[in-house]
Chain A
Amino acid sequence: MSQNIVLVGLGQVGSHLAKVLSREGHNIVAIDSKPERVNAANENLDIKALLGHGASPSLLREAGIEQADMLIAVSGNDETNVVACGMAAHFGVMQKIARIRIPEFFHQPPHFTFADWGVDLAIHPEQETAKEIVQLIKRSAATDVLEFAENRVQLIGIRIDASCPLLHKKLNEISQQSPGQVFRVVAILRGTETVIPGGNDILLNRDQVFIVAATRDIPAIVSLMGKSEEKLEQIMILGGGLVGRATAALLDQEKNLTVKLIDPDPERALSLADAMQRTLVIQGDGRDFNLLATEGILETDVLISVTDDEETNILTSLLAKHLGVAKAIAMVNRPEYLALMAPIGVNAAVNTNVVTSNAILRLIRRKDIVSLAAIPGLDAQAVEYLAHPGSRITRKPLARIDFPAGAIMGAVTRGEEVIIPVGDTRIQPGDHVIAFSVPKALPNVDKLF
């Protein structure tokens, strides 16, 4: 079912969305104020791009707003995004999505919501990214942490190394040998190749495995993989932009952490220091080794590099790993770089664009999907479905259902209970099913629900 979508803003997120959505068969008309972006989009993508102000009523009408099913406003300017949504509401568009980045805007007073501005869904990518970073600090051994079913289920990524006791073992052997632990390996990232594993696949050194399990079982599974959950307490953040600020604000509330935030801009440093209660704000260049040494990089447990410059983020993370920092987290938005992270030893990469497009794709594919998430660098998506009384998946036990190749069942939640499904498990209406799938198989998985 293809939709008519008007897209405001063709920056990194906008062009990524345009690419993904047009590939899924939707009709996209995009508006951007920069001629080079408009030209590039018209030439490289199967969309129509217009030049001008994203909240201009005449331009929106030219873009076909009156027939549009959805407006996605992801321009660099929050106010433009909100006003565009307001216009779209006036033209009767059903779904209006705006990206909001200024923190002051999403602390809404009671009885006043974004809906009052015509915004159905407000996405705060930097805030979401900050939450993800905090999760990564809490799960020290993980490269990725995603939450499902009100955080009763987690999907975590773990990088296998030579010390892993399960090396070269088949997955079904592993689950037979450790009956106490219920979990499912839903994907393996081997080099740049994504594998949706079956029971006969084995774990290799340097694999990055993605595991779905009940949240309370995760620590035991981590130790089964030969990793230990260390307490990470000394934290250093490089870059006080939106992500750095949001991350520091979250960590600022954790009493047992020591957080240092480094930013080169004196004014920004002052305003950050003003906003933080416990975090120590340092004004200086995060690439200056002497500064990092003075501020105790050698004693630091986690280095979070979230400056506006991706290359700086990658290089400082490498430097930190070299100096023995337990965990280095870098913000990397360019997809080409994501594949590099594992080989060069950066523990985790976060990506504001993926966060944004996850939220938007979830809304578009809506129907029975509770949540949907992509993992940076991995060519597969985690999808949380809600099973209905009529859903095909509920008719037979799983063994007798033809589950699409390239897709796998992760976990099922039935009320408070978390089930790792096997062949004779039968899905009941009302169950939440967390599945993992490569993009090609996704439509076939959708049909089961």
Chain B
Amino acid sequence: MNLRLVVRLLGFLLLAIGLFMAVPALFSWYYGGPDLVAILASSALTMAAGGLLAAFSRSQGELQLRDSFLVVALGWLLASACGALPFILSGAIPSFSDAFFESVSGFTTTGASILVRVEDLPHGLLFWRSLTHWLGGMGIIVLSVAILPLAGVGGTQLYKAEIPGPTLDKIAPRIRQTATTLWQVYILLTAVETLLLLAARMNLHEALCHSFATMATGGFSTRTASIAGFNSLFVEAVVVIFMFLAGMNFTLHYHFLRGRTSVFWKSEEFRLYLGIVVAFTAILAADNLAAGILPAGGALRHSLFQVVSIITTTGFATADFGLWPAAARFVLLFLMFVGGCAGSTGGSIKVVRVLIILKQGMVELRKLLHPRAVIPVRIDGRSVPQDVVVNVLGFLFLYIGILFLSTLALTLMRIDILTAFSAVAASLGNIGPGLGAVGPAANFQHLPLAGKWLLSFCMLAGRLEIYTIIVLFTRDFWK
């Protein structure tokens, strides 16, 4: 293991995080907020730590496979720890556990909050919360790969350990170009959404915060009532559209921008994603209408928003779906296990994995009748290699395993089943709000300390797609 190189890369990562941390200071200064000093101090501390790590471990050589897992896992852990500094130093969130939870929730684009009243937070810290989303959305490691001159193999491994989805899509021959291109598309979409939100009469601070949270499929808002707080159809329409875009594979956006307009419809994953959104919106709207909870126009509007918000794992809310009928809530709970497309900023299991598992199921049925048949699982006309199918099945097993064990742990802390299960599902899937006592109108403040740490772990495990985190706990890794 090339530990010196690992430490050096982590140092660079912290330098970058520290640099970004100084940006919210602009808003603190503009609004004359009380958090200016805390933010600048946190930024300085983070950069100093990063500088020291980078300076004192000069290293040559290549990054090995297992080093890359260590870099990614430790990188996310350190980034989250440093990201908690502004909350602690400003005194806004005095408990380290709470501040760490909020920071992890930000970087992993979960959007679960321990804040009872979001509006109590000064503008600088609110902006930092959303900025962590944005950095974590396309990935802090992918960002580093785009910026740092890493040798080919190491860069690819790092990239692969962080980018969601079962396979690696390369847009360009060099991984650095691929990472740069994806970040460019991401920045472009964020800029467009910011402009639209400004047009919807948000101020720059709010527009940026919500664009960051939307494009990263995060879910932090500047208001406790989330998007409902704006009570504007225009805002909701913009946010729904951009949540949907953020839940799509960004390589498709890239090809679309390059003029290949048919690329969306050719993607089976996209078709399923769209199909799920349409079908579940219809079910939800019908159920809400039948139960008489929402008026005709509102049923469709709020159902669509909630479906897109949950499937893309954003977690914005325009209605307290905790009060909806049982079937409607179950639909949303179910969607928590679908998630966005591969290569999106969304979390959870991912549409393509659902697609592969469904198709593998159909293959097994056909194989009952034709035991010797060779039937590939085919996506977009190409067959999926058998080891990818097995990888997906393994992923699903580990995902469910962690879900059940964590739910068990939370129920042992005297938390009711619905709250515990949905809290774990929402954390593991990087969604944010769950059901019961952690529903969209509530927050995670009341959970016991151990519960918050467990959910922080689930958020990290979910964001790094289970394997990257779990591999560190295997004996083979440390041999």
Contact = CB atoms under 8 A, between A and B. Distances in A.
A270 B372 contact: no
B373 A281 contact: yes
A294 B371 contact: yes
A92 interface: no
A117 to B, nearest CB: 29
Interface in B365-382: 366, 370-376, 381-382
B373 A274 contact: no
A280 interface: yes
A405 B175 CA distance: 75
A269 B374 CA distance: 7
- Count class of interface residues, chain B: 10 to 19
A239 to B, nearest CB: 15
Nearest to B386: A270
B60 interface: no
Given A273-B383, A274-B383, A295 B376 contact: no
A273 B374 contact: yes
A270 B371 contact: no
B383 A284 contact: no
A280 B375 contact: yes
A322 B366 CA distance: 29
B371 A281 contact: no
A293 B370 CA distance: 11
A282 interface: yes
B376 A282 contact: no
Which of A266, A277, A280 has the most B CB atoms < 10 Å from its CB?
A: A280
Nearest to B372: A284
Contacts of B376: 270, 273-274
A283 B371 CA distance: 9
B372 A291 contact: yes
Contacts of A280: 366, 370, 373, 375
B388 to A, nearest CB: 14
B374 A295 contact: no
Contacts of A284: 372
A269 to B, nearest CB: 4
Nearest to B381: A277
A273 B370 contact: no
B383 A282 contact: no
A270 B374 contact: yes
Given A273-B383, A274-B383, A295 B375 contact: no
Interface string A178-193: 0000000000000000
Contacts of B373: 280-283
B199 to A, nearest CB: 47
A270 B382 CA distance: 12
Nearest to A275: B383
A56 B89 CA distance: 81
Interface of B: 366, 370-376, 381-383
24 contacts: A266-B374, A269-B374, A270-B374, A272-B374, A273-B374, A273-B375, A274-B376, A274-B382, A274-B383, A277-B381, A280-B366, A280-B370, A281-B375, A282-B373, A282-B374, A283-B372, A283-B373, A283-B374, A284-B372, A291-B372, A294-B370, A294-B372, A295-B370, A295-B372
Given A281-B375, A295-B372, 10 more contacts: A269-B374, A270-B374, A273-B374, A273-B376, A280-B373, A281-B374, A282-B372, A283-B373, A294-B371, A295-B370
